[in-house]
């Protein structure tokens, strides 16, 4: 009798778990742009990039996935003056390829919040990369075929490269 109750309990949990599952498995890709803030804001102002996500719906409210992409921050020209001496310098673009895990929580249909965490690989010379994290909020548009999101991206090594971003993703 004890093993029958245990078996029925396991079967019941299995049916309950599958009835809560929502298949939101999807591939999303799109463009992102924003402004550089924090430690690098004097040398860089704007950045543009590409976001790529693959998510699997693990419950009615939660998606887990993987993320990558490309981010390019455009270097600025600056003139530094001291008395009668002026020096003009130009900063090279800084580029990253983030690679990480992603989670999205859906408190209501079409609205989500979550974040990404991983490592951003530095592409340009002298860029070591660093810990990558990116909290975000988003809303589905066009019946779920696209998404508009706002996020803060940071790459942290000894100092933090931070950026406030606006992105538009397409669902495939």
Q: What is the pLDDT along the chain (172 residues), one digit of tens a residue?
A: 555 455 545 655 554 444 455 577 889 999 999 999 998 998 999 999 999 999 999 998 999 999 999 999 999 988 878 888 888 888 999 999 999 999 999 999 889 999 999 999 999 998 999 999 999 999 999 888 999 999 999 999 889 999 999 999 999 8
Beta bridge partners of 48: 33, 72
Task: Supply angle C-alpha 66, 105, 156, rounded to 5.
Answer: 55
Q: What is the pLDDT of residue 95?
A: 97
Measured between alpha carbons, how far is 84 from 31 in angstroms, rounded to an integer? 44
Measured between alpha carbons, how far is 17 from 20 in angstroms, rounded to an integer? 5
Measured between alpha carbons, how far is 14 from 154 in angstroms, rounded to an integer? 40
Measured between alpha carbons, how far is 114 from 120 in angstroms, rounded to an integer? 18
In the chain, the domains with their CATH numbers are: 23-171 (2.40.160.20)
Two tokens, residue 107: 């408190």
- Residue 19: closest CA among 27, 7, 11: 11
């Amino acid at each position: 009798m004890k093993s029958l109750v245990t078996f029925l309990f396991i079967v019941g949990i299995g049916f309950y778990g599958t009835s809560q599952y929502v298949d939101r498995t999807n591939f999303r890709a799109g463009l992102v742009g924003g402004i550089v803030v924090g430690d690098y804001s004097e040398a860089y102002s704007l950045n543009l990039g590409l976001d790529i996500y693959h998510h699997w719906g693990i419950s009615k409210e939660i998606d887990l996935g993987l993320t990558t992409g490309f981010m390019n921050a455009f270097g600025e020209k600056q003139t530094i003056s001291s008395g009668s001496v002026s020096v003009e310098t130009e900063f090279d673009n800084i580029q990253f390829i983030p690679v990480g895990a992603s989670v999205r929580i859906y408190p209501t249909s079409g609205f989500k919040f979550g974040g990404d965490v991983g490592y951003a690989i530095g592409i340009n010379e002298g860029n070591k990369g660093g810990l990558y994290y990116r909290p975000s909020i988003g809303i589905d548009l066009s019946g779920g075929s696209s998404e508009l999101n706002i996020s803060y991206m940071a790459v942290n090594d000894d100092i933090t490269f931070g950026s406030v971003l606006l992105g538009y993703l397409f669902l495939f």
